[in-house]
Amino acid sequence: MLESRGLARAMRAQLKTKIRLFAQERGYVPALRVLLVGEEEDSVLYAQNIVRWFSNLGLRSSLVTLPHDARIQQVMAEVSLASTDPDVHGLLVQMPLPSHLDYHEVFCALDALKDVEGLHPENIGLLASGQPRLVPSTPLAGMRLLDEYEVPLGGAEVVILGRSNVVGKPLAQLMLQRDASVTLLHSRSRDLVAHIRRADVVAAAVGRPKLVTGEMLKPGAVVLDFGINFVGGALVGDVAFDGAIARAAMITPVPGGIGPLTNLMLAENLLLAATLQADRADKLS
DSSP 239-263: B-HHHHHHH-SEE--TTTSSHHHHH
283 vs 279: CA distance, rounded Å: 6
30 vs 12: CA distance, rounded Å: 16
Q: Which stretch binds its own copies (CB under 8 A): 13-21, 89-97, 164-172, 236-244?
A: 164-172
Q: Which of residues 178-217 bind its own copies (CB under 8 A)?
A: 179, 181-186, 188-191, 194-195, 198
Cβ-based neighbours of 279, under 8 Å, separated by 6 or more: none
Which is closer to its own copies, CB of 11 or CB of 180?
180
Q: Which of residues 50-79 bind its own copies (CB under 8 A)?
A: none
Three-state DSSP string of 73-95: HHHHHHHHHHHHCCCCCEEEECC
226 vs 224: CA distance, rounded Å: 6
SS3 56: helix
> Which residues are registered as beta bridge partners of 234?
231
Least CB distance to its own copies at residue 98 (A): 19
CB 106 within 8 A of CB 79: yes
Which is closer to its own copies, CB of 52 or CB of 198?
198
Which is closer to its own copies, CB of 50 or CB of 124?
124
Q: Which of residues 91-130 bind its own copies (CB under 8 A)?
A: 104, 119-130
Least CB distance to its own copies at residue 269 (A): 16
Q: Of 24, 73, 99, 131, which one interacts with its own copies (CB under 8 A)?
A: 131
Q: What angle do CA 214, 217, 222 make, to 5 degrees?
A: 100
Least CB distance to its own copies at residue 171 (A): 12
Helix (H) or strand (E) holding 131: none
The footprint of its own copies on this chain (CB under 8 A) covers a number of residues equal to 37
Least CB distance to its own copies at residue 99 (A): 17
Which is closer to its own copies, CB of 85 or CB of 157?
157
Least CB distance to its own copies at residue 138 (A): 15
**Site residues (CB under 8 A) for its own copies?**
104, 119-131, 154-155, 157, 163, 165, 169, 172-173, 176, 179, 181-186, 188-191, 194-195, 198
